[in-house]
Amino acid sequence: MISLIISESALELVPYELEDHPSVVSHARKLGKHSSEILLDNSWHFAAMKGIKNEIKRGRPDIVHFSILEATTIPLYLENKLNLFVHTIDNKVIRFGKNVHLPKSYHRFQGVIEKLYREKKIISNNEMLLEIKEQTFSELLAEIKPSKIVGFSTEGELSSYEKIAAQISDNSCIVLGGFQKGHFSDSVQNKITDLYSVGNESFEGHVVTSRILYEYEKTIFM
């Protein structure tokens, strides 16, 4: 079994310092929730987010949603050969149980994640579907204990999906960024043992997710 970490993901609740901003208050009111209970979303909270720390790596839960859908709707995951984790920009980790099917609708996904933040676990038929807890990237790796950590960045060694997949063995961990712009922080990148680039352009996370997992599937299923 391999692991996939969508790291430093732009997935978080509205931080305390932005809760009273008019754009956030207005959006929360439309949803019938308090500002502190909704996801930070650049589409709605652009004005509030101007100038905040790591602005370009925050407020894009839609990017994370796309990557999760790519990872959880493929044979690798459905046959329990993939462990999926979402590590967030504010050092929380979301764990996925077996055969979790998140909504394809973004608005329903948003509701599920906001419920997860509120209740910490989502359980169905006595099985844990989703769980969130405070945990750093380094702490998660210490728990997983992967034999190899493969990361993707434009700063990595130029290669191809096929060549990279051929080097991924059982108990490896794949690390992809869950943010729209920028690079991994040093605390994440320094833990990656094999850093690769798959082109001179920066591709969206869900594209890299789908292509590397498909190439890896070919090495074990075909």
pTM here is 0.95
Where the chain has pLDDT below 70, the residues are none
Q: What pLDDT does residue 202 have?
A: 80
Q: What pLDDT does residue 52 have?
A: 95
Q: What pLDDT does residue 203 have?
A: 86
- Quote the tokens at residue 122: 């989502």
Instruction: Walk me through the domains of the chain, giving residue ranges and CATH numbers.
Output: 2-10+60-105+126-221 (3.40.1280.10)
* Beta-bridge mates of residue 134: 92
Q: What pLDDT does residue 64 have?
A: 97
In sequence order, what E strands does the chain have?
Answer: 2-9, 82-88, 92-96, 121-124, 127-134, 148-158, 172-177, 194-197
How far is residue 185's CA from residue 101's CA, in Å, rounded to a whole number?
30
How far is residue 118's CA from residue 170's CA, in Å, rounded to a whole number?
35
Are the beta carbons of 161 and 210 closer than 8 angstroms? no
Are the beta carbons of 49 and 55 closer than 8 angstroms? yes
CA distances from 141 to 15, 52, 85, 171, 178 (A): 26, 28, 11, 12, 17
How far is residue 206's CA from residue 178's CA, in Å, rounded to a whole number?
9
How far is residue 11's CA from residue 61's CA, in Å, rounded to a whole number?
5
Q: What pLDDT does residue 201 have?
A: 78
For residue 195, how far is the Cα from the chain centroid? 18
Q: What pLDDT does residue 61 have?
A: 97
Q: What pLDDT does residue 221 have?
A: 85
